[in-house]
A and B are shown apart, each in its own frame.
Chain A
Amino acid sequence: AQSVTQPDIHITVSEGASLELRCNYSYGATPYLFWYVQSPGQGLQLLLKYFSGDTLVQGIKGFEAEFKRSQSSFNLRKPSVHWSDAAEYFCAVDLNNAGNMLTFGGGTRLMVKP
């Protein structure tokens, strides 16, 4: 069955440090991939998406992600974390490659130390 794994449930980084959140998927074909962020009590905000083409995609708020087919991964990165980045981050795969039926990973909660 298709699945998305985010191995790290919690991550704590210092403000100004770099960040990498991991995401692995199990899917037969090359899926459509997404990263969303959720602040407490809020809905999900789209950070970036990958459909095809260049495997390094840029998103909002200075985030980027790299699709690696050989590793079935789509890791999210940011070179310098800000305190406002503290939130929960979700990786998602589109089950039918149409963008409207997502399977989510369990999420990674990011805490930022001053």
Chain B
Amino acid sequence: KAGVTQTPRYLIKTRGQQVTLSCSPISGHRSVSWYQQTPGQGLQFLFEYFSETQRNKGNFPGRFSGRQFSNSRSEMNVSTLELGDSALYLCASSLAELAGTDTQYFGPGTRLTVL
């Protein structure tokens, strides 16, 4: 089975722009979560989507949003980019079959640099 794929792998944007990142989960996985990784804050949970609905949300401003499509693929959008948004954005997918026993598998990440 192919793993979690994320596109693009690298991205450079300027302040004020917006960006969309894409994540394709492992085949059959229905839950997709997003995390931000920075040297200062470490790994932080952004949000989780299941059946095209946001099911859990971390403590990030409304500039960070996402969506999930019927094929479980997910996109994450950041509007009005700030320098502090420079980070590695990781997507993780899980089966979400049985409550309480799920395990997340991570993609390689998208490295976003904001200039």
Knowing A100-B56, A100-B94, A104-B42 are in contact, say whether A43-B107 is a contact too (CB < 8 A): yes
Query: Which chain A positions have C-beta within 8 A of B100?
Result: 32, 51, 97-99
A47 to chain B, nearest CB (A): 11
A11 at the interface (CB under 8 A from B): no
Q: How far, in whole Å, are A36 and B104 apart by their CA atoms in the complex? A: 10
Query: Do the beta carbons of B108 and A104 come within 8 Å of each other?
Result: no
User: Which residues from 42 to 97 on chain B have a C-beta closer than 8 Å to any C-beta of chain A?
Assistant: 42-45, 48, 50, 55-56, 58, 90, 92, 94, 96
Q: List the count of A-B residue pairs having beta carbons below 8 Å apart.
A: 67
Q: How far, in whole Å, are A7 and B27 apart by their CA atoms in the complex? A: 37
B99 at the interface (CB under 8 A from A): yes
Query: Which chain A positions have C-beta within 8 A of B50?
Result: 100
Query: Do the beta carbons of A44 and B106 come within 8 Å of each other?
Result: yes
Considering the complex, give the chain A residue whose CB is closest to the CB of B42: A106
Query: Do the beta carbons of B104 and A100 come within 8 Å of each other?
Result: yes
B22 at the interface (CB under 8 A from A): no
Query: Which chain B positions have C-beta within 8 A of A34?
Result: 103
Q: How far, in whole Å, are A43 and B58 apart by their CA atoms in the complex? A: 20
Q: How far, in whole Å, are A32 and B103 apart by their CA atoms in the complex? A: 10
Query: Which chain A positions have C-beta within 8 A of B4?
Result: 43
Give the number of residues in B that approach A within 8 Å (Cβ atoms): 28
B24 at the interface (CB under 8 A from A): no
User: Which residues from 11 to 68 on chain A have a C-beta closer than 8 Å to any C-beta of chain B?
Assistant: 32, 34, 36, 41-46, 49, 51
Query: Which chain A positions have C-beta within 8 A of B43?
Result: 90, 92, 102, 104, 107
Residues of A within 8 A of B (CB): 32, 34, 36, 41-46, 49, 51, 90, 92, 95-107
Q: 28 interchain pairs (CB within 8 A)?
A: A32-B100, A34-B103, A41-B108, A43-B4, A43-B106, A43-B108, A43-B109, A44-B90, A44-B106, A45-B106, A46-B103, A51-B100, A92-B43, A96-B56, A98-B100, A99-B101, A99-B102, A99-B103, A99-B104, A100-B33, A100-B55, A101-B56, A102-B33, A102-B35, A102-B43, A106-B42, A107-B42, A107-B43
